[in-house]
Structure formats: C-alpha cells, structure tokens
Chain A
Amino acid sequence: MKKLINESGDVVDEMLDGMVAAHPELRRLDGTNVLVRGDAPVDGKVAVVSGGGSGHEPTHAGYLGEGMLDGAAAGEVFTSPTADQLNDMIQAVDAGEGVLCVVKNYEGDVMNFDTAAEMAGMEDVDVEQVVVNDDVAVEDSLYTSGRRGVAGTIFVHKCAGAKAAEGGDLGEVKAVAEKVIDNVRTMGMALTSCVTPEKGEPTFDLGEDEIELGIGIHGEPGTERADIMTADEITEHLTENVLDDLDVGEGEEVVTMVNGMGGTPLSELYIVNRKLQSMLDDRGIETWDAWVGDYMTSLDMMGCSVSVLRVDDELKDLLGAPAHTPALTVAEE
C-alpha cells in the first residue's frame, strides 16, 4: 500500500516535529515524544494530560492548549508511550497543583500510566488518574480487559480541561472527568481496515460488500461482520446500542459526536449525523450540541463512531467554556 511517509520507523518523530512547526504554541520535551503547551507549567492550575499510541490524530496532541490538555505523550503507532516519558510529561506540566492523567482503557496504557504516576509520586507530584471506557461494543478485546476507551475521551479532555482552567482543584477536576466517563457511550464501525506504516497492508480483510461492526481504534476486528447496509441502517444499529447502554430517555439532554475514523469523507459523517439527530428527536431526547468530524481516528480507516454524552448544567458550562487548541476551538461567548 502507498503511504506518504519516509521511513516507517520515523513516522512519530517526524509527525511531532511537523506538528510543532505548524503550532509554535506547542513545545516538544527534549529527547521524548511528548508535546506540552508552550506556557506549561501554568501557574496555579491543575494540569490535565493524556497520551497513548499514535495513529489517532488529532488525538492526543491536537487537544493541547488553553481549556483542554497541558501535555500529550505519543507512543509508536498503536503502542503505549513508555512510563519514563509519561513521567517526564507529568513533571514538566505540574505547577504544584497536581496532575490528572486521562487514560484510555488499554492494558499497556494503564500499566505505563500507573508506573509513571508512581515515579512522579516519588518526586512528590500529586497525580490522579481516570480511565475512559466508553465503547459499548465489547467487554474484552485484543488490547484490553473491560471496555475500550475511544472517542468519548475527547469529551473528558474538554470538561476536565475546562474545570482546571476555571480553577478547580485536583479532586474537582477528577470528579468532573469521572462524571463524563459515567455518562458517555460510543460504538464504531468500519468500511475498511487501516494500514499501519510498519506492516504496510490492511490489518484485517474486509470484502467489497462487507462491513465490520463494533470495531475499536486499532484496526482490531469488531464484534460482528455484516453485509453492507445503508448509512441510515448503520447509524440506527450504532445509535440503538449506544442509547440502550446509556439508558437515556425522553426529556434528557445530550451532546453527540459523529467521529470519522480517518478515511471517511465529511459528507458521509453529516449523513450519519442527520439520521442520528432524527432518531434522538423521535425519542424526545434533546441535543444540546452536535459534534461532527475526525476527533479520534484510526489511521486511514474508513468508518465512523457515534458517541452520546448525557449532560447537565455543569457539563454544558464546561463544554461551552473557551478552548484554544489545534483541533478544537471554542470561542468566548
């Protein structure tokens, strides 16, 4: 397969250099694959950090900046960053108010963040962790015990980042992150597999007339292979699973996300969103805000995920608070 790369071993390094060149307000920590806000550590503020394998851009570094993340660690493609680099990140962004790590539920990520927290703890940094597990498709997958963390993580970054920006202490920032995790669900599907730079060929084979339902974000196979359906039928399948699991009903308010997997035209994501909104409308569920775009991708995979977050006044305030990052901007009211 053709790829716009130089050497497969240089993908992460060269991507990070290019990203900092495009966004001079970010800074790369020497000798690491960690990017931080240029002005980190921010005085008097709890820091919020995240990280994980590469290949999910704009996740994670695309959410660095005011109102969201202070640090983002990039591992190799689909591979956890190492604990020493996570520790370097935690130390670099800590302003003495503590650091919240937003971790997606994959065994490698969780173990490396745990170890990093312990290393930072030895240096007297206050570290707390939340583990995002919003994927309703599977209980256990190739990379996890329990449900995977997928696109709903971006809502956690937004709300925890906003809480930290308005001066919340570490316990309050963590509580907000946990509230989002408790109230968000996601399910994804793929029209094609993805191609990792290392392997150079599709991770799984899908026939011309087949789709994979319940996929994660690493090209790992889903829960079910099905014959191709229309956009409306696919949206129905994903949305019903998400709404049932979240147990959200008439009169409640939600924020939705139709997330592209990297290779999906925006036009198709809007078609999915159209059906999603009409389903919510039919059920008397009110959409406070609808996000559509590539928020957490799986390289060049074609497909999408649907996320639904139940919101209350607190979460609406935090989602609407200002953010200035490469991938997400919310202006002052």
Chain B
Amino acid sequence: MADVDTQREAVLDALDNVAERLTAEKSYLTDLDSAIGDADHGSNMQRGFSKAAEKRDEFADMDPDDIVKTIGTTLISNVGGASGPLYGGSIMFASQELDGGITVETSVAFAEAYLDKVKDRGGAQVGSKTMVDALVPAVHTYKKSIEQDDLPPLEALAKAVDAAERGVQFTTPIKALKGRASFLDWRSVGHQDPGATSTLFIMEELLATAEEYLDGDVERDARAADAVRRDE
C-alpha cells in the first residue's frame, strides 16, 4: 500500500482533475439536462467540485478518508437539489470504507458502498435512466475484475470505465422512470441522461489519476469511447 502522503496526493489530484473536467463539461451537461430536466446539472456539479477543490489547504494534514468525507459534505452543501445528497451524501457514506487507507480491497468496498447508497437514497434501478445505469455496470465490472479475474487495479478500473460508458449509451433509448425526466414520460426517450454522463466523467478522471500514480497506461475500448458524444 502506498504511504499516507502519496494517498493524500492522489486523492487531491483526482479531485482537481474531476473539478477541471466538470468545469470543461459544464455547458455540455447543462445542455443534456435542458432537454429532460431543469438545466442546472452542469453548473451544480461544477460549483460543488470546484468548492471542494478550493479546500486544498485545509486538506494538507487530513487522512485520505477524512478528505473524501469532506469532499462529500462539501458537495452536499454546494450542489443542491437531489444531486447534493446523491453524489455528496453517497461519497460521505462510502468514505467510511477507506478508514484503513486506500488499497485495492478498500477501493472495491468504497465503490460498492457508494452504489448501494445511491440506489437506496434515490430508489432508482438499472433501466430507470439515471446515474445508476452507469454505476451498476462499472461497480460490478470493477469488483469482478479484481476479485475473480485477479486483474491489476488499473486494468480493472479501465474495464469499469468502459462499462460505465456503455451504461451511459444505454440511457439514451430508454424512458425515464425516476427524477424530473420521468414526468416527460415517452418524450424522455432519445436523450442521454446527464447524471449517468457526469458519473462517467468523474470515473474517467479517476482512471486518469490512477494512471499517473500506478505508472501505467491502459487501452480503453475505443468503440465505447467515441459513442457517447456521437450526438454532439
């Protein structure tokens, strides 16, 4: 296991990368949300993660799990609406799994706890056209790749991101059953879900950060990688 300073740096770099990515994708996410929601997902996510990234100095002496918990509570205070509890509350809850530091095992436990909390709080299942459609394939693929296929963590994470990407694509042709989009009923068909999309962007940045720290470079499934933005 990497020492605690390296773990802390990795968490902070991941946070910076996610904040930058969501800033870059702000208007794209808002466009997706305009079609089937209330047009605030991009700015809400950007504001929340940027506020967390601004706390870098506060994080200097904290343990990695406390940093992750504080990222969660910062999102709760700044994202608002249902996304605050869904993203922030779930990160906060899952941070308890990192109590003993960040290892391959605790990363699986974190991912599972995060998924459970999102499902429990939002009540969405696979096929509801929500962030759960990206998360379930990602978390299941990650766990299986680590625990049954014995893949190195970086490869497992790359497979998980690919799975999330296919999950995002799956949200387009289906009808929304949860969230504001569900009130559009059949009119929600044909639109990509913004929450699944931001979940994918976050995971892509976790992968990019892991590549830096685990000294690796992994192949993504190229077909999945272009498809998500095909409708741009």
- List the A side residues contacting B73 at CB < 8 Å: 84, 119
> Are A107 and B80 closer than 8 Å at their CB atoms?
no
Is A118 among interface residues, defined by CB-CB distance under 8 A? yes
Which residues of chain A (57-104) have a CB below 8 Å from chain B?
Answer: 79-80, 82-85
Does B183 count as interface, using CB distance less than 8 angstroms?
Answer: yes
Contact A79 B80 (CB under 8 A): yes
Chain A nearest CB from B81 CB (Å) reads: 6
Interface assignment of A115: CB less than 8 Å from any CB of chain B:
yes
Q: Which of B77, B93, B121, B180 contacts A111 (CB 8 A)?
A: B121
- Contacts known (A83-B89, A118-B93, A119-B73); A111 close to B82, Cβ less than 8 A: yes
Shortest Cβ gap from A18 to chain B (Å): 24
Tell me, yes or no, whether B85 is within 8 Å of chain A by CB: yes
Whole-angstrom distance between the Cβ of A133 and the nearest chain B Cβ? 15
Tell me if A142 is interfacial: C-beta within 8 Å of chain B. yes
Given contacts A111-B85, A115-B85, are A84 and B123 in contact (CB under 8 A)? no
Beta-carbon contact of A142 and B89 below 8 Å: no
* B19, CB-defined interface residue at 8 Å: no
Contact with A along B87-105 (1 / 0, CB 8 A): 0110011000000000000
Q: Chain A residues near B85 (CB, 8 Å)?
A: 83, 111-112, 114-115
- A141–B180 Cα gap in the complex (Å)? 9
- CB-contact partner of B121 in A80, A82, A114, under 8 A: A114
For A112, the chain B residues whose CB sits under 8 A away are 84-85
B127 CB within 8 Å of chain A: no
Q: Within the assembled complex, what's the spacing in Å between the Cα atoms of A11 and B166?
A: 44
Report the bound CA distance from A115 to B179 in whole Å. 17
Which of A80, A82, A108 has the most CB atoms of chain B within a 10 A radius of its CB? A82
Q: How far is the CA of A79 from the CA of B84 in the complex (A)?
A: 12
B208 contacts the other chain (CB 8 A): no
Interface on chain B toward A: helix, strand, loop, or mixed SS? helix
Complex interface: chain A residues within 8 A of B77 (CB): 82-85
Whether A118 contacts B76 by the Cβ 8 Å rule is: no
Shortest B232–chain A CB gap in Å is 29
Is there an interface contact between B81 and A80, defined as CB atoms closer than 8 Å? yes
| A118 contact set on B, CB distance < 8 A | 89, 92-93
User: Is A145 in the interface zone, CB < 8 Å from B?
Assistant: yes
Point out the residue from B80, B121, B178, B183 that lies within 8 Å of A115, measured CB to CB.
B121
- Is the pair A142, B86 in contact by a Cβ cutoff of 8 Å? no
B19 to chain A, nearest CB (A): 19
Among B76, B77, B123, find the residue whose CB has the most chain A CB atoms closer than 10 A. Answer: B76
Contacts of A79 in B (CB 8 A): 80-81
- B76 proximity list for chain A (CB < 8 A): 82-84, 115, 119
Q: Distance (Å) between the CB of A17 and the closest chain B CB?
A: 21
Q: Mark A102-135, 1 if CB is under 8 A from B, else 0.
A: 0000011001101100110000000000000000
Contact across chains for A83 and B93 when beta carbons are under 8 A apart:
no
- Would A108 and B82 be within 8 Å (CB), given that A83-B89, A84-B77, A118-B93 are in contact? yes
Distance in angstroms from A79 CB to nearest chain B CB is 7
A140 to B185, CA, bound (A): 12
| Min CB–CB distance B53 → chain A (angstroms) | 18
* Cα-based distance from A163 to B32 in the complex (angstroms): 48
Of all A-B residue pairs in the complex, the 10 with the closest CB atoms, nearest first, are A115-B89, A111-B85, A115-B85, A84-B77, A83-B76, A108-B82, A84-B76, A111-B82, A142-B183, A112-B85
A82-B84, A112-B84, A115-B92 known; 16 new pairs, CB 8 Å cut-off, are A82-B78, A83-B76, A83-B77, A83-B85, A84-B73, A84-B77, A85-B77, A107-B82, A108-B81, A108-B82, A111-B82, A111-B85, A111-B89, A111-B121, A115-B84, A118-B89
Task: List 21 interface pairs A-B (beta carbons < 8 Å), by A numbering.
Answer: A79-B81, A80-B81, A82-B84, A83-B76, A84-B76, A84-B77, A108-B81, A111-B82, A111-B89, A112-B84, A112-B85, A114-B85, A115-B76, A115-B84, A115-B89, A119-B73, A140-B182, A140-B183, A141-B183, A142-B183, A145-B178
